[in-house]
Structure 1
Amino acid sequence: MADGNRSQAVAVPPARAAVVLVLTVRPGPPDPVRELLSDAAGIVRAVGFRAPGEALSCVAGIGADLWDRLYALGRPPGLHRFRKVSGDRHTAVSTPGDLAFHVRAHRMDLCFEVARRLTERLSGLADVVDEVHGFRYFDERDLLGFVDGTESPTGAEAVDTVRVTGGDPVFDGGSYLVVQKYVHDLGAWEALPVEEQERVIGRRKLSDIEIPDSEKAPDSHVALNTITDDDGNELRIVRENMPFGSVGEGVFGTYFIGYASDPAVIERMLHNMFVGDPPGNHDRILDFSTAVTGSLFFVPPAGLLQDPPPAPGRGGEP
């Protein structure tokens, strides 16, 4: 196998455009899907060569059930089906997903072309169950009007936040990806005074400055998503959320895209949001934003995709 520790392009600067595809793979031999995953980097290079400098990239993630079909390896330790989180009033649903492709660039046409080429190769093999075309909205704001991802790490810190290390060397350099589609009730949200919107989020709307802890509402989005380990160190993830919407259909939302070296960090955040910390103190943003999908994937090191280990039931290198 090739060097499996080289990471996919997870920790990159925010994009102006993105396409996220979630697919389920039909029963059948795994070879065509393995081959597509091996060739995905080449597809990105071929499309990006025509438009250099546009920061085109694609991250491929694999769900738990498909992993068992593709590779004669044990699952990465944190890989499992997305676990539904049910609170008193709101639920983080779990929806099917075998493959995820997160395509980013400064131009939507490049993202669209990569997504089209990937799905062409998977025709008859897999079905798209979710497709979102995201866009940059003004100065990195979501459709609720607040800057999104302010505390997301960047640079070397982002790499450290998402990169799996210190376990099975086969998985070192990988990452975990959680995606959720949230649909907003913009009518109800925009009926709130700005001061009340700020209380829900935990930040000032115009300046993006975090509200001091002494004034911050305990059910605010910021309060419930700030978590620490036993030593008091903040546990962080890399958020690559993108707004999406359809004016004609009246559908507006945020597509949550979270990367971490351990999915338990994201799962703890979701528990705080939906169940509450303490229980019953749910994230008030959920009164205006409903989760309609939820899937978990492992993002393998680039070398594992391009030079994969044997498929189940086979010996030796493929």
Structure 2
Amino acid sequence: MRTPQDVLAPLTDSALFLTLTVRPGHEATVHDFLPDLDGLVRSVAFPHPREDLTCVLGISSDAWDRLLSGPRPAHLHPFREIAGDRHTAPATAGDLFLHLRSTRPYPCFELGRRVVAALGPAVEVVDAVHGFRYFDRRDLLGFVDGTANPTGDDAARSALVGDDDPEFAGGSYLAVQKYLHDLAAWTAKPVQDREASVGRQMLENIEIPDDEKAPDSHVALTTITDPDGTERDIVRDNMPFGSIGRAEYGTFFAGYAADPSVTERMLTRMFVGEPAGTTDRLLEVSTAVTGGLFFVPPAELLDDPPPLPEPGPAAAAGAGPDAGAGSLGIGGLRAGPA
């Protein structure tokens, strides 16, 4: 297996989630930047070893076709909008995604600033979210987030591509969403209702037993089990974020998976229901406002990327296998139960 990026880095107290689009005609600048990213990370991280600064770079389906020639990751495709009767997980713009993590905010800020400065007019920043670790790893809804994450070898199996796609073994599929919470509506609910919505006790952080758990609770709907009884996991690194001035409070979801269909089934169960209509109770107070899918290539590919695609009619038009899905390769799908 090739060397993974820092997908499995430990949870930190600060993060920056940075979404960029590549301006047409500037693909060569971005391509040439890829091998320089590691040096930028080192320049910020080396003088501050206790900050545990890491950086993960993901590339969207459309951007992959514009930036890199040769084979594609087997399951890379645009994020597909999931539209249920009551809730929608939208697909939004994004060609490159950077997940920066550190102990304190300033290394993430400085690295993000240097990345954007190095790319200059080649990219546009479409979203920048500064995440922070809240009280004893709780989200703004008051629940500990990430308790059920796999660890050790299980985390690697869940998050990293294996021998089924040997060219990209060590890579990972990263799905991201930004959720905004109606905290007034949430805190108006009795604690018992909040626990039923999540499927976990609020104070003790103990999962509610299956025979007592509501079928439309978040935990029930995001637990994916194969027909043979095997539970399928992803590695989440969600972070709270907020702005008091804008009265904007939310959770940034970042989920790493060896196979994006696992994450997509979780989202379909949340937004459409399984059976249809049994949607996630959390969506009554939480609204997804962004959505993207990116492939996090092995470190070797960033250090020595394949050449730019040969120019031609399709390349000039920014077209690839996902042509017709939108100018940024973002498609729409009215999803039914997976």
Task: Settle same-fold status: TM greater than 0.5.
Answer: yes
Q: CA deviation at 1:29?
A: 4.5
Pairing 1:20–2:17 present: yes
Inter-partner Cα distance in structure 1 for 2:256 and 2:287: 21
Structure 1: gaps spanning 5 or more residues: none
User: Counterparts of 1:156-305 in structure 2 under 5 Å?
Assistant: 156-305=153-302
Cα offsets for 1:124-169 (capped at 9, x unmatched): 0010111100000011100000001110112332122111011342
Q: Is the 8 A contact 2:90 2:288 kept in 1?
A: yes
- Three-state SS of the structure 2 residue aligned to 1:10 is helix
2: CA distance between counterparts of 1:222 and 1:159? 22
Rounded to whole Å, the distance in 2 between the matches of 1:168 and 1:251 is 40
Cα distance in 1, alignment partners of residues 92 and 141 from structure 2: 25
Structure-2 residue corresponding to 1:309: 306
Asked if 1 retains the 8 angstrom alpha-carbon contact of 2:273 and 2:279, the reply is yes
Secondary structure of the residue aligned to 1:179 is strand
Q: Structure 1 stretches (4+) deviating beyond 6 angstroms?
A: none
**1:75 Cα deviation after fit:** 2.2
How many angstroms apart in 1 are the aligned matches of 2:302 and 2:127?
23
SS of 2:251 mapped into structure 1: strand
Is it true that 1:99 corresponds to 2:96 in the alignment?
yes
One-letter identity of the residue aligned with 2:172: S
What secondary structure does 1:14 align onto?
coil
Task: Please say if residues 34 and 305 of structure 2, whose CA atoms lie closer than 8 Å, have aligned partners that are also in contact.
Answer: no
- Consecutive unaligned residues of structure 2, counting only runs of 5 or more, are 312-338
Contact in 1 for aligned 2:27/2:122 (Cα 8 Å)? no
Cα offset for 1:223? 0.4
Aligned CA RMSD, in angstroms, stands at: 1.1
CA distance in 2, matches of 1:111, 1:165: 30
Q: Match for 1:112: what amino acid? A: F
- Cα deviation for residue 106 of structure 1 reads 0.3
Shift of 1:283: 0.4
- Alignment partner of 1:85 out of 77, 82, 85: 82
The amino acid that maps onto 1:187 is A
SS at match of 1:84: strand
Distance apart, 1:84 and its partner CA: 0.4
Distance 2:119 2:306 in 1: 21
Matches within 5 A, 1:127-146: 127-146=124-143
The alignment status of 1:43 with 2:40, answered yes or no, reads yes
Aligned with residue 117 of structure 1, among 110, 114, 117:
114
What is the alpha-carbon distance in structure 2 between the residues aligned to residue 254 and residue 168 of structure 1?
32
TM-score of the pair, normalised by structure 2: 0.90
Q: For residue 247 of structure 1, what is the amino acid of its counterpart? A: I
Q: Which amino acid aligns with 2:108?
A: C
Which residue type is aligned with residue 250 of structure 1?
A: A
Letter in structure 2 aligned against 1:146 = F
Secondary structure in structure 1 of the residue aligned to 2:50: coil
1:235 and 1:43 mapped to 2: Cα distance? 35
TM-score if structure 1 supplies the norm length?
A: 0.96
SS where residue 53 of structure 1 aligns? Answer: helix
Partner of 2:64: 67
Per-residue CA shift, 1:219-278, capped at 9, x if unaligned?
Answer: 000000001112111000000000000011110000000000000000000000000011
Q: Which has the higher helix share?
A: 2
1:160-200 superposed Cα distances (whole Å, 9 cap, x missing partner): 21110113422111000011000000000000010110000
Query: Cα distance, 1:31 vs. partner?
Result: 2.2
Secondary structure of 1:173 counterpart = coil
Alpha-carbon offset, residue 35 of structure 1: 2.0
1:215 Cα deviation (Å)? 0.8
Which residue in the other structure is 2:4 paired with? 7
Partner of 1:124, secondary structure, is helix
